[in-house]
């Protein structure tokens, strides 16, 4: 894979590590509530659900990092996980918040395009 494609996939992976931290560890903090626009009461009631979402975002990040670690042999792994991120972003935008399309799906789509063109 071309260096720019690998870098873009790495950035998507790091974004998902950050989302994991927000959802699993910072959900009830001011930073987590600000990121997701929640109240303290809502955050307290939904912390287990958010941690579950965070775990899934971690799986997406781990898959991307694994594919990158494999080098050229992992290109299909990177493509698979970028498509999974795009699908998750589209679903999230349709069911939760339109911003997810731009925060999650768009960067993954750019990384996927760069990967496929490399």
Structure tokens at 51: 């941690």
Helix or strand run (H / E) with residue 47: helix 40-69
Nearest to 89 by CA among 118, 60, 63: 60
CB atoms within 10 A of CB 29: 13
Compute the half-sphere exposure of residue 55: CA atoms within 13 Å on the CB side of its CA: 6
- pLDDT tens digit at each of 118 positions of the chain: 689 999 999 999 999 999 999 999 999 999 999 999 999 999 999 999 999 999 999 999 999 999 999 999 999 999 999 999 999 999 999 999 999 999 999 999 999 999 999 8
């Amino acid at each position: 894979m071309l260096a720019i494609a690998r870098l873009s996939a790495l950035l998507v992976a790091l974004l998902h590590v950050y989302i994991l931290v927000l959802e699993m560890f910072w959900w009830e903090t001011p930073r987590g509530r600000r990121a997701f626009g929640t109240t303290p009461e809502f955050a307290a009631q939904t912390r287990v659900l958010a941690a579950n979402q965070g775990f899934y975002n971690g799986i997406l990040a781990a898959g991307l990092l694994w594919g990158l670690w494999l080098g050229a042999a992992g290109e299909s792994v990177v493509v698979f996980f970028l498509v999974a991120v795009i699908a998750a972003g589209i679903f999230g935008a349709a069911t939760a918040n339109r911003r997810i399309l731009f925060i999650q799906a768009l960067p993954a789509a750019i990384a996927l395009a760069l990967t496929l063109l490399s």
